[in-house]
Amino acid sequence: MTKLLYTAFLFFFVGYLHPLYAVGTNPPDSEREKQELDWMIDHLFSITEVMVNDVASPPGAARFYSYSLLAAHLAFQQGQDFAADPLLSQLKGPFPNSLPTLPSEKEPSNTSFSAQYAMLEVGKRLMPSGKKLQEAQEKLQKQYLSNRYLKKRDMAELVVYGEQLAQWVIDYAAEDGYRFLSTLKRYSPSGEEGKWYPTPPAYMAAIDPEWRTIRPFFLDKASDFAPPPPAPFSLDPGSSFYEQLHEIYRVTGDLDEEQQLIANFWDCNPFNVTYSGHMAIGLKKITPGGHWIGITGIACKDAGLNVKQSIYIHSLVAMSLHDAFISCWDEKYRSDRIRPLTAINEHIDDTWRPQLQTPPFPEYTSGHSVISRTSAIILTDFFGEGFEFIDTSEVFFGLPERAFDSFLQASDEAAISRLYGGIHFRDAIEEGTKQGDAIAQYILKKVNSPKEMLLSNE
């Protein structure tokens, strides 16, 4: 009996001093913040999974990420003037009605919940198969209720608030030019020598030829950071194009195991198609922007950020990706350059195939080079130089994890992977990297983020 009483006393005493172990109480803030961040990144990946299912184009995926995360960021700006926020101050009108507020006079009792709910709600309404995110929203509610972070009464109020935030973002997104894309003149290959033409195996039509008409977040216009023109098409020995063409043929014919791994790790081609008899099979892959959103989540967890801080940097990266794709796609359809596959098959070796399947749009500049350098510069500014991380973004898609010493190292590898993959000429890679660098530096000057405040635990 004495031993039983002692055990009961000890249980009560430990539970009193350490709420983590007490029945029916919440864990310390640091543990709760870590758990909420895990949930946020998990639910953001649910959005990624829907994009993969829908075969979202690289620019389109960046748009979906931007608006979903913008809704999450708005949840933390209750009552704040747009001009006082580094991201919201960059938004271009027209704007919907004023931002929604909670029905009651109190501040949201759990902003992290409403931010995640709004993020999922925008994805649900914006993406073709977005209804699949209903399950993620239900899971989110169960997580907060089962951990006693919210009461049902408060949750109902926060769900309404999240839906209203999402509606504001949906209304704002409706005016960015996306709904007019299908009404614009369709792209047709010119047939001119050195210009783009659909490539095997699927010979898909060009993707998003009028993406330059989409409203950017930071850039004033799509052509703000247009690179110099690509090397002109020429089969004269000694010409830049001739040398680059034969470089690809030579390099891809002698790839070592590491170079093949690099090419595959950064493939990120949502349009990859294989054939079995007469049946075409799409291979599900993450987009280039989705890969960098994954890296952002890894960095947030490694740095021990909370949900508010993580949503901010995710939003900044997503919006920067969005603008980088607009800039890159503007150049792709201006220069309209031939892909290596077409040029090599016509002029060197009609049996040659690249390591990677060629995506369906013109070659110059390299999208991976542009958006990877933009993302890397933004992340380096926020997390610092020499930020080491293990990239597990591709593990879900059957590829091994990969370690990097910095974001810039990762972006350099992403860029050169396009040469190893046989889908880009060297000048598209090098000029694309410069293009992405210039875009990122411009965005950082406009945002002028108060990092010390953002990285504090306010």
Mean pLDDT of the chain: 90
Q: Provide the token pair at 429.
A: 């890679």
Q: How far is the C-alpha of 50 from the C-alpha of 126, rounded, in Å?
A: 11
pLDDT in tens, 246-288: 999 999 999 999 999 999 999 999 988 666 555 555 567 899 9
Q: Which two tokens stand for residue 188?
A: 């047709």
- Whether residue 27 has a cis bond before it, omega within 30° of 0: no
Closest of 126, 125, 155, 118 to residue 40, by C-alpha: 118
Q: What is the pLDDT of residues 56-104, one digit of tens each?
A: 999 999 999 999 999 999 998 876 678 888 999 999 988 888 788 876 6
pLDDT tens readout for residues 186-244: 999 999 999 999 999 999 999 999 999 999 999 999 999 999 999 999 999 999 999 99
pTM of the complete model beyond 0.75: yes
Query: What's the whole-number mean pLDDT along residues 9-13?
Result: 33
Contacts of residue 44, Cβ cutoff 8 Å, sequence gap at least 6: 68, 69, 119, 293, 297, 314
The DSSP line for 143-170 is: HHHHTTSS-HHHHHHHHHHHHHHHHHHH
Domains of the chain with bracketed CATH? 14-178 (1.10.606.20), 197-454 (1.10.606.20)
pLDDT category of residue 312 using cuts at 50, 70 and 90? very high
Q: What average pLDDT does the segment 349-362 reach?
A: 97
Where is pLDDT greater, at 280 or 380? 380
Task: List the end-to-end C-alpha distance of the chain, in Å, as a whole number.
Answer: 49
Closest alpha carbon to 345 in 335, 334, 358? 358
